[in-house]
Amino acid sequence: MGHESPAGDLRLTNLTKRFGVLTAVDDLDLTVPQGSFFALLGASGCGKTTTLRMIAGLEAPTSGQVLLGDRDIARLRPYQRPVNTVFQSYALFPHLDVAENVAFGLRRRGIRNVDDQVRRMLALVQLDGSGRRRPAQLSGGQQQRVALARALVNHPRVLLLDEPLGALDLKLRRQMQIELRRIQNEVGITFVHVTHDQEEAMTMADTVAVMNAGRIEQLGAPADLYEFPATAFVANFLGQSNLLAAEAAGPAGADVPVTAHGARFSLPVGRARSDRGAVYLGVRPEKLHLAGSADQVPDGHQHVDGVVTDASYVGVSTQYLIRTGWGSELVAFAANSGLGQRFPVGAPVAAHWDPRHAFLLPREPGPTDDRPDRPAARRAGEGAVANAPRHLLRRVVRPAKRRGAA
């Protein structure tokens, strides 16, 4: 990533918005490359809409800049900015037909001959022939397409989408996600898509910025964020992670040795976000494999012993909970490929992983505790864990039960 910005990049620099004592957006620095599909992902209340509203000109920043290329657009009025927004509530004009809804921006700019452009836009969103219908005669998904056409007809440099699929049912959402990608590919306009749905962000965007409490926790390609999260928050907001509280004493050669619960582990230096002091040793559930005993663990893998406490069959995979010797619970997903061994509840297992698939994260020092702080996951109605089986909504790694009276 270069520091020089091509003409059309959207850049937010030191962007801050305070509402009284509340800092909704906290010193945001962000570059959205021209023509990219960019997702701003975060739990409800983390400042996503406020960020979009400052880009659109609907909210004045407390401080900071909004640049499009080298031009600061932060002082321009909303209609002067080459930016359009699609909201979750489509806000179509009920008394205008579909074609006139789409033509609205053109007419307001005094353009008379709108038919061709409107027809092309309706074709783009696959609503050819629906121009004479009223919004009330359309399904939710079709109304959302009209809203999209109405924004794109203005040829904005940047299209802002604020949870645009939030009101659609799951199947329609999936369809519209694919549609939106196709449309973005076709028009090549920068899309900034706000969502609290991690799967939506990952399937759609080239770049995902994970936002937490007004700040960007991590930014990158979906696979990079998933495979090598930078913080415990990201490790658990984007999918799930087993996080073992561990201590590291710096690298030794190509590896970083760590101790966790009295056992020694290690992982390559390149997999460590932090290599000293209090750390989390992280392993994704699908990269944690089960063997019937320690002598069946493949060479080069590391393992912890445990007992299966729950095995739930969810079709494509079986999701296991494994209680470790020190009383934490780990989650392992095993693909139902028909090849692997199945383990019943109560079976002793060695849960093992390839250290190249593990990662090391900074951890707040303090009493040893396996519980990563998971504010996002606790808002469980949305986002990261919404589709997980209910028993997996518990924290992935739970602390040891205290013996005796607590």
Ligand X SMILES: Nc1ncnc2c1ncn2[C@@H]1O[C@H](COP(=O)(O)OP(=O)(O)O)[C@@H](O)[C@H]1O
Residues that bind ligand X (CB under 6 A): 19, 22, 24, 42, 44-50
DSSP 320-331: EEEEETTS-EEE
- Give whichever of 160 and 360 is closer to ligand X, judged by the CB atom: 160
* Partner interacting with residue 135 (select from Mg ion, ligand X, none; CB below 5-8 Å by kind): none
Question: Minimum Å distance from CB 203 to ligand X?
Answer: 20
Query: 159 has which bridge partners?
Result: 84, 191
Question: Minimum Å distance from CB 174 to ligand X?
Answer: 22
- Give whichever of 51 and 242 is closer to ligand X, judged by the CB atom: 51
* Partner interacting with residue 57 (select from ligand X, Mg ion, none; CB below 5-8 Å by kind): none
Question: Minimum Å distance from CB 150 to ligand X?
Answer: 22
Sign of CA dihedral 94, 97, 100, 102: positive
**Distance linking the first and last C-alpha atoms of the chain:** 52
Q: What is the phi/psi pair of residue 380, to 5°?
A: -75, -10
* Partner interacting with residue 45 (select from ligand X, Mg ion, none; CB below 5-8 Å by kind): ligand X
Question: Minimum Å distance from CB 158 to ligand X?
Answer: 18
Interacting residue with Mg ion among 34, 49, 195, 266 (CB under 5 A): 49
Q: Where are the beta strands (DSSP E) in 114-272?
A: 158-162, 190-195, 207-212, 215-220, 242-249, 255-260, 263-268
Alpha-carbon distance of 96 to 104, in angstroms, equals: 9
Contact 41, 163 (CB under 8 A): no
Angle CA(207)–CA(146)–CA(47) in degrees, nearest 5? 40
Question: Minimum Å distance from CB 165 to ligand X?
Answer: 15
* Partner interacting with residue 229 (select from Mg ion, ligand X, none; CB below 5-8 Å by kind): none
In 3D, which of 362, 358, 357, 340 has the Cα closest to residue 349?
340
- Give whichever of 202 and 211 is closer to ligand X, judged by the CB atom: 211
Q: H or E element: which one contains 317?
A: strand 317-324
* Partner interacting with residue 177 (select from Mg ion, ligand X, none; CB below 5-8 Å by kind): none
Question: Minimum Å distance from CB 129 to ligand X?
Answer: 36
* Partner interacting with residue 93 (select from Mg ion, ligand X, none; CB below 5-8 Å by kind): none
- Give whichever of 34 and 50 is closer to ligand X, judged by the CB atom: 50
Question: Which window, 48-56, 95-103, 286-294, 302-310, contacts Mg ion (CB under 5 A)?
Answer: 48-56
Alpha-carbon distance of 349 to 358, in angstroms, equals: 19
Q: Reduce the DSSP state of residue 2 to 3 states and report it.
A: coil
Alpha-carbon distance of 210 to 41, in angstroms, equals: 5
- Give whichever of 145 and 196 is closer to Mg ion, judged by the CB atom: 196
- Give whichever of 138 and 160 is closer to Mg ion, judged by the CB atom: 160
Question: Minimum Å distance from CB 72 to ligand X?
Answer: 22
* Partner interacting with residue 79 (select from ligand X, Mg ion, none; CB below 5-8 Å by kind): none
Q: Which residues bind Mg ion (CB under 5 A)?
A: 49
